[in-house]
Structure 1
Amino acid sequence: MNNNTIKNVIILGGGTAGWMTASLMIKVLGKNIGITLVESDKIGTVGVGEATIPPIINFNQALGLDEKEFLRETKGTIKLGIQFENWFRQGQSYMHAFGTIGKNFPFCDFHHFWVRDRLKGGDTDYWDFSLNYQAAINNKFAPLPQIKGTNLQGLSYAYHFDAGLYAQYLRKYSESKGVKRVEGTVKEVKLCPDSGEVQELLLESGKVINGDLFVDCTGLAALLIEKALGTGFEDWSHWLPCDRAIAVPSTGSKPIVPYTRSIAHECGWQWRIPLQHRTGNGIVYSSRHWTDEQAQGVLMNNLDGEALAEPRVIRFRTGRRRKQWHKNVVSIGLSSGFLEPLESTSIHLIQSAATRLIKSFPHQGIKPEEVAEFNRQSQVEFERIRDFIILHYKANQRRDSDFWRECENRDVPETLQRKMELFRRTGKVFRDYDDLFTEVAWQQVLIGQGVVPEDYHTIADGLSDAQLADLFKSLKTLIDGTVKGLPEHEQFLKM
């Protein structure tokens, strides 16, 4: 029985994906398995994933990391949401703010009351009732689980950080707990002639690396899962046409805002991520509509500081690996697929895949049933995130370029079309079981992109006009007062 026990795990590739995977595996499985990470200082990483979403807090807590130390070591800042500018129409903006909005009632979300008021001529802003949004635009933050004196949720947050520094931080953590790091570049991947599994890695130095289970963290190269095992790729570029990104860091600006900015341009969009020591910038675009030189010109003309390096072009295809676990190789990070960083999901996909691998970790040999379930869950997760990203492009009313007109007229997956039409007609939106994004997240992007419901839940008629006005007034007073009492974001970072 013990001949097939999985004892030695080889992680190929460092960077954020490799070291996040190594740190979580050594923390949870370190007493049972040996972990070796192979990476080369000669091979760079994409390293543009500097914005995260709230589950990253659970990851850091699972490792036992101290938040203040983590922020200091990674030059991190707080993220309360993503500000989308010029996406619906030029000159208009909205925020996908984390956390809740307003006060939910049994069986009926708060936005139904807002829709009722709007359909009767009200002019309140939906985000007046978002604590996260109000704190973000006022550059305020402090850990706040609940609004004082109420049962209303407080601030929900994530981080911006330097991905390279985060990888270094997790490398120290992992090595201190027993992960063995091997420096080297793979010269050859040897497969077992009988099973077709990866048998060993031959490094350029001549060193041979053997293992029972291999984790492919080689990024877009997909050295094991694709080049060695040829699992195939499901291309989603017919839904998401952007296929290039250019990244460049710049000097920081003041104040350091606690949110990411996503700024739509003529043929793509620009990210702006504030860190303690610099700003992360990039532009995502379609090479059918812009040349690299045109995109670079737009990016460089829209920096809020001086460039600190030469712009770097990243070419990609949006989609997913058809099998993210095949034979004895599991792909994690960009080797498993690519979704543009519009909703900051790249690092989260590393976290969720590493967690999924630990939950599915094989014992007496790799069983096809657990591989199939891992792949099913991975596929559903990618598809749900894909739909959420497509929504931003589909629901636009920009008329300034072929790019945006094509996005509006492009067919979308049936799963997304159904959700959009249900919301438009009834105001109802339901979170799928495996959906990363909450109902409130869907509500904000749908409303922000101009998909305003024609109707609302009947429960919203349970309040009189006067009671509804009092509800709105009391919520706004409570939120404004709470934000006023919070420290400045930069003050918190110095604590």
Structure 2
Amino acid sequence: MSGEPMQSVVVAGGGITGWAAAAALKRCLPHLDVTVLPIQPPADAFADRLPATLPSVLAFHGDLGLSEADAIVRTRAAFRLGTRFVGWAEGLPDYVHSYGAHGQAIAGSAFHQHWLRTGDAPFDRYAPAAALGREGRFLLPGEPPVDLYEYGLVLDLSAQAAMLRAFARHLGVREAVSELRSVRHRADGFVEAIETGAGPLVADLFVDATGPAATLRSAVGGDRTDWQRWLPCDRLAIDAAPTAAPPASLDMVEAIDAGWRFRIEGAVQTTTGACWSSAHDPRPGGIAFAAGSHAEPWAKNVVAIGDAATMVEPLEWTNLHLALSGIDRLVTMMPGRDCAPVEIAEFNRQARDEAARVRDFLLLHYVTTRRPEPFWRDMAAVELPDTLAHTLTQFAERGRLPFYEEETFARDSWLAVLLGQGVRPRRIDPMVEAIDPAPIAAGMARHRDALAAAAARAPTHAAFLQALHRQVLS
């Protein structure tokens, strides 16, 4: 089969992750014969359980060709502009991590360098998305100063999964409703078929979207890297209730004694819960999980997607993002039926590097937090991964952030957390020190005031959603 194109794919796993994979494969590679074995996502499949998303979900919808009506209105989604972090830096006010620009470059140098020198207001007051979110408002990016930002969604999970299933079926994806019983291998170690209650499912390629158990990927063998020494939270409790008031455009994450709790307000449902370390708080209950990642999410002819490839706590809501990113990578790097090792190695390198930087970004929140409880003291003393140590060392010296190719969060996202939690470099850029600070400070104040005034005039999140629904459904 050397050089022959891939002809058939079986996706094991239902829910958002499985149906998103099937829809993307069939939409972008219509010659493929795609079948879904719609296994119900398990409780610890956080990509399918948490409704808050990063802005990347909108790009994924766009790649599928989904209209705004399909992706937002008909799935009862709401918008989200970022997260308000409460209690993560003792003695400091809460801060917002929003997506997009925080200020603008001044005299050819980064805005945050000038803020470090002259800023007299919190860093997030210069971010359009944060300004809108703090007022409970929403507006699509437009003219300055309310521009240069991104937004994610708060999904109605059941409606999103149903939409993706219907779209995939419309494209020609087949659904084989049954239970997964076993995996049958060929002599060369490749998977030949999935044995189900309705008979075998044979394919050239198998996509594992079964959640952290990674039922198919585990059957092929290989190491899983344990990240619990860096991300020790291992319990998650989730609750949901109808949204009783107009939804906020920011979710909230609050530090607690041994972890954090959260609130995500959607158009029809509000999701609350907590994530904590059972070693520091042995309270009963919660969904057990363990942070870690497959060193090789793709092995032989099986590729793990989402939580089956990398499992992290849902701080910053990266689980679905990693799933969608893995799907995009699979589509763009689809090899031939022989699954040439050189191609699979590059897929795995990119996936591994991306997952590691997500891990680093989550760990950043913990190691820069100043709280007195034992959990937080233990986190402050943890030995850092080399990549995060390099980032923090560079920032601590001159306020600079190194570039990594497979980065999920932009520089301003790293700055939002670092500066929001009170981390300051020893020195600032010498180019900035050579500029007269007085006019810079005055310009920053004018920009901040203009942004606050524009945010106050914007429609509320609820009003924007209502107008969008009227426009689409009229």
Per-residue deviation, 1:106: 6.1
Aligned twin of 1:493: 465
Give yes or no for contact 2:231–2:291 (8 Å, CA) kept in 1.
yes
Q: Does 1:38 align with 2:29?
A: no
Q: Deviations over 1:100-123 (max 9, x none)?
A: 0111136521010011115xxxx3
For structure 1, which segment, 247-256 or 366-375, has the greater mean C-alpha deviation from structure 2 after superposition?
Answer: 247-256
Q: Does 1:208 align with 2:200?
A: yes
SS of the aligned residue for 2:249 comes to coil
**CA gap 1:250/1:42 in 2 versus in 1, 3 angstroms:** closer
Give yes or no for contact 1:85–1:91 (8 Å, CA) kept in 2.
no
When the two chains are superposed, the root-mean-square deviation of aligned CA atoms in Å is 1.9
Q: C-alpha separation between the residues in 1 aligned to 2:432 and 2:245? A: 42
Q: Does 1:134 align with 2:128?
A: no
Give yes or no for contact 2:7–2:337 (8 Å, CA) kept in 1.
no
Give yes or no for contact 1:431–1:437 (8 Å, CA) kept in 2.
no
Residue among 407, 412, 415 paired with 1:443: 415
Q: Deviations over 1:262-291 (max 9, x none)?
A: 111111111211111111122111111122
Give yes or no for contact 1:342–1:389 (8 Å, CA) kept in 2.
yes
SS of the aligned residue for 1:341 comes to coil
Give yes or no for contact 1:237–1:319 (8 Å, CA) kept in 2.
yes
Q: C-alpha separation between the residues in 1 aligned to 2:333 and 2:447? A: 44
Give yes or no for contact 1:431–1:438 (8 Å, CA) kept in 2.
no
Q: C-alpha separation between the residues in 1 aligned to 2:337 and 2:431? A: 54
Q: Deviations over 1:433-486 (max 9, x none)?
A: 221111111111111122112221122235423311221122113212321331
Matches within 5 A, 1:89-128: 89=90, 92-105=93-106, 107-117=108-118, 123-128=120-125
Give yes or no for contact 2:297–2:309 (8 Å, CA) kept in 1.
yes
**CA gap 1:407/1:253 in 2 versus in 1, 3 angstroms:** farther
Give yes or no for contact 2:85–2:95 (8 Å, CA) kept in 1.
yes
Q: Deviations over 1:359-400 (max 9, x none)?
A: 11013521000000001101100111111111101111101x
Q: C-alpha separation between the residues in 1 aligned to 2:151 and 2:369? A: 27
Q: Which structure 1 residue ranges, 4+ long, deviate > 6 Å from structure 2?
A: none
Letter of the 1:407 partner, please give it. Answer: M
Letter of the 2:33 partner, please give it. Answer: G
Unpaired runs of 5+ in structure 1?
297-312
Q: Deviations over 1:53-92 (max 9, x none)?
A: 1121111111122224422333211111111111122773
Q: Does 1:332 align with 2:305?
A: yes
Letter of the 2:450 partner, please give it. Answer: L
Q: Deviations over 1:308-331 (max 9, x none)?
A: xxxxx3211101012100000000
Q: Does 1:464 align with 2:465?
A: no
Q: Does 1:162 align with 2:163?
A: no
Q: C-alpha separation between the residues in 2 aligned to 1:72 and 1:292? A: 39
SS of the aligned residue for 1:342 comes to coil
Q: Deviations over 1:199-252 (max 9, x none)?
A: 1111123x11110100000102211101x1122210010111111111111232
Matches within 5 A, 1:240-389: 240-293=231-284, 313-363=286-336, 365-389=338-362
Question: TM-score, length-normalised on structure 2?
Answer: 0.94
Letter of the 1:158 partner, please give it. Answer: G
Give yes or no for contact 2:15–2:41 (8 Å, CA) kept in 1.
no
Aligned length: 465
SS of the aligned residue for 1:127 comes to helix
Give yes or no for contact 1:263–1:271 (8 Å, CA) kept in 2.
yes
Letter of the 1:180 partner, please give it. Answer: R
**CA gap 1:67/1:338 in 2 versus in 1, 3 angstroms:** same
Aligned twin of 2:8: 8
Give yes or no for contact 1:50–1:161 (8 Å, CA) kept in 2.
yes
Q: Deviations over 1:143-199 (max 9, x none)?
A: 124426xxx83442111112232111100010001000110111111111x211111
